[in-house]
C-alpha cells in the first residue's frame, strides 16, 4: 500500500475486518487506517488509525461486487468517536462510496460540489450553512488488498442541518423536534410526490415510500404526523387560494428554486423525491421544510444503471410533484420569475459548460496523475459497467 505514496497520491484507506461477515443490516468490528500525504486529518502524522464498525451501504447497489461502506468510529470504551477526517468536519459516521455504476466515478461528487456552492440552509448552522456532503477521493484496500477508487464523504444528517434533538422526558415520553425524512423508493404510491398517502402503520422507520432518518430511534405517530400534514397541505385538500397564502409557512421558496434549477442544469434525474431529503429544524416551532439532494449518480449524462442517458431534463418533470405542480404549473406567487432569476444567477457561471467541464477535468487529472484510474480500470472495468478510457 505505501509503495503508492507520492506527492500526487490520493489518500489511501485500508479497512481491516472479517469481510465475510460484513452485510447490510448489522455492523462488524474493524479498523480503518488513513494515509494522507497532506496530513489533513492529523498535522503530526501522515497515517491515522481508528477502531470502527462497518457495514455495506445501499439498496440495489449491494448486488455489485464493488460495494459501498458505512463506517462508524469508536473509542477504547466503545463510545462514538468524532474525527475531523480530511478537515471535512468532526464526525463519527462516514461513507465510502463505491460509485460502482458511474463510468466516470465522479458524478455524485461533482454535483454536490456545485450544489454546495449555489445553495445553503436558510438559517445559521455550525457548518457554514452547508446543505450537502463534502468528500475526498481515496483508494481503498481491504485487509491490505487493493479494492479500488472510492469517495469518502460525510452524511446529510441532523448535525449538519442543525436540526433540534428529540427530548426524552423523565416519564419516558419523547418530544420530537427536528425531523429528517428521505424519499426511499419509486413505487405505486403517489405520496413520493407529496400529493397523497396510504393509511398504514406508523411504528416503523419507513412509512409509504419514505424513510425516517431522524429521529430514527423514535418512530411513531409524532414523527410521521408532520409529514402527513405536509402532504395534506400539498394535496387537493388545500385550495389554490389557501396554498398561495400559506405555502411559505411550509417551504423556503429560494430552496425550491435552487433545487429545480440545479436538477435541470445538471440533468439530475433520480431525485424527485426519491433520493431527496426533507427536513425541518423544530416541528414545535414551525413546519418549514427544506430540500436536500442525495445519491446523484443519474446526472451529467448518466443513468441509474450506468448506461448513457440520452434524455434532456425538462421543467415538465416537476408537473406531478407538489408543491411544484402549483408553483410552476400555475405560476403561484410568481414562482417562475424567482426560478428565472435563479437560473440567470448561475447559468453563465456554475452551470456553464466550461465550469462543469473544468470540475470534471480537475478530478480526471487527479485520477490520472495519481495512477488511481489505471488501477481502478484494471480492477473494475466492465464490472458492472465499462469505464471511461481517460
Average confidence (pLDDT) over 222-243: 96
Instruction: Report pLDDT digits (tens) over 128-169.
Output: 999 999 999 999 999 999 999 999 999 999 999 999 999 987
The reported pLDDT for the residue numbered 317 is 86
**Grid cell listed for 17:** 475486518
Backbone angles phi, psi at 119, to 5 degrees: -135, 135
Please say if the pLDDT value at position 223 is more than 60. yes
Q: How confident is the model at residue 5 (pLDDT cuts 50, 70, 90)?
A: confident
The reported pLDDT for the residue numbered 184 is 86
Higher pLDDT, 105 or 188: 105
Residues 6 or more apart whose CB falls under 8 angstroms from that of 188 comprise none
The reported pLDDT for the residue numbered 81 is 97
Instruction: Report pLDDT digits (tens) over 18-49.
Output: 999 999 999 999 999 999 999 999 999 999 99
| Nearest Cα to Cα of residue 136 among 103, 109, 100, 164 | 109
Question: Are 267 and 301 a contacting pair, CB within 8 Å?
Answer: yes
The reported pLDDT for the residue numbered 188 is 52
The reported pLDDT for the residue numbered 311 is 87
What is residue 69's three-state secondary structure?
Answer: strand
Q: Is the pTM of this model over 0.85?
A: yes
Instruction: Report pLDDT digits (tens) over 65-74.
Output: 999 999 999 9
The reported pLDDT for the residue numbered 388 is 78
Which element (helix H / strand E) includes 373? helix 372-380
Q: How confident is the model at residue 313 (pLDDT cuts 50, 70, 90)?
A: confident
Question: Are 183 and 209 a contacting pair, CB within 8 Å?
Answer: yes
The reported pLDDT for the residue numbered 61 is 67
Residues 6 or more apart whose CB falls under 8 angstroms from that of 341 comprise 257
The reported pLDDT for the residue numbered 187 is 61
Instruction: Report pLDDT digits (tens) over 172-189.
Output: 788 999 999 999 876 655
- Helices 353-370 and 372-380 cross at an angle (nearest 10°) of 80
HSE value, Cβ hemisphere, 13 Å, CA-based, for 331: 5
Please say if the pLDDT value at position 370 is more than 80. yes
The reported pLDDT for the residue numbered 319 is 87
Q: Whose grid coordinates read 480503518?
A: 32
Instruction: Report pLDDT digits (tens) over 345-358.
Output: 999 999 999 999 99
Question: Are 161 and 279 a contacting pair, CB within 8 Å?
Answer: yes
The reported pLDDT for the residue numbered 51 is 98
The reported pLDDT for the residue numbered 172 is 75
Looking at the chain, the whole-number percentage of residues with pLDDT higher than 90 is 83
Cα 308 from Cα 323, distance rounded (Å): 30
Instruction: Report pLDDT digits (tens) over 248-289.
Output: 999 999 999 999 999 999 999 889 899 999 999 999 999 999
Amino acid at each position: 500500500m505505501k509503495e503508492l505514496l507520492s506527492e500526487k497520491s490520493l489518500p489511501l484507506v485500508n479497512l481491516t475486518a472479517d469481510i465475510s461477515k460484513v452485510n447490510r443490516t448489522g455492523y462488524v468490528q474493524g479498523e480503518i487506517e488513513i494515509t494522507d500525504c497532506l496530513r489533513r486529518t492529523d498535522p503530526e502524522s501522515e497515517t491515522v488509525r481508528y477502531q470502527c464498525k462497518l457495514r455495506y451501504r445501499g439498496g440495489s447497489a449491494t448486488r455489485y461486487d464493488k460495494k459501498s461502506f458505512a463506517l462508524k468510529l469508536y473509542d477504547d470504551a466503545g463510545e462514538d468517536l468524532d474525527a475531523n477526517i480530511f478537515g471535512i468536519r468532526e464526525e463519527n459516521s462516514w461513507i465510502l462510496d463505491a460509485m460502482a455504476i458511474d463510468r466516470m466515478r465522479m458524478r455524485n461528487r461533482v454535483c454536490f460540489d456545485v450544489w454546495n456552492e449555489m445553495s445553503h440552509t436558510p438559517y445559521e448552522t455550525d457548518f457554514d450553512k452547508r446543505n450537502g456532503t463534502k468528500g475526498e477521493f481515496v483508494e481503498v484496500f481491504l485487509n491490505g488488498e487493493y479494492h479500488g477508487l472510492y469517495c469518502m464523504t460525510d452524511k446529510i444528517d441532523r448535525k449538519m442541518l442543525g436540526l433540534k434533538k428529540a427530548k426524552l422526558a423523565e416519564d419516558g415520553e419523547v418530544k420530537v423536534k427536528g425531523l429528517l425524512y428521505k424519499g426511499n423508493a419509486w413505487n405505486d404510491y403517489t405520496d413520493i410526490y407529496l400529493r397523497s398517502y396510504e393509511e398504514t402503520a406508523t411504528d416503523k422507520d419507513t412509512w409509504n415510500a419514505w424513510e425516517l432518518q431522524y429521529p430514527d430511534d423514535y418512530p411513531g405517530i409524532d414523527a410521521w404526523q408532520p409529514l402527513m400534514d405536509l402532504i395534506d397541505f400539498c394535496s387537493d385538500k388545500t385550495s389554490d387560494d389557501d396554498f398561495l397564502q400559506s405555502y411559505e409557512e411550509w417551504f423556503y421558496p429560494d430552496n425550491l428554486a435552487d433545487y429545480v434549477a440545479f436538477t435541470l442544469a445538471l440533468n439530475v434525474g433520480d431525485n424527485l423525491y426519491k433520493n431527496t431529503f426533507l427536513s425541518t429544524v423544530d416541528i414545535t416551532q414551525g413546519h418549514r421544510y427544506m430540500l436536500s439532494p442525495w445519491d446523484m449518480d443519474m446526472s451529467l449524462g448518466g443513468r441509474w444503471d450506468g448506461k448513457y442517458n440520452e434524455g434532456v431534463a425538462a421543467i415538465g418533470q416537476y408537473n406531478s410533484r407538489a408543491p411544484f405542480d402549483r408553483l410552476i404549473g400555475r405560476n403561484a406567487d410568481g414562482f417562475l420569475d424567482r426560478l428565472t432569476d435563479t437560473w440567470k444567477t448561475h447559468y453563465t457561471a456554475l452551470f456553464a459548460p466550461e465550469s462543469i467541464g473544468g470540475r470534471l477535468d480537475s478530478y480526471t487529472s487527479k485520477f490520472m496523475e495519481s495512477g488511481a484510474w489505471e488501477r481502478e480500470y484494471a480492477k473494475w472495468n466492465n464490472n458492472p459497467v465499462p469505464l471511461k478510457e481517460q
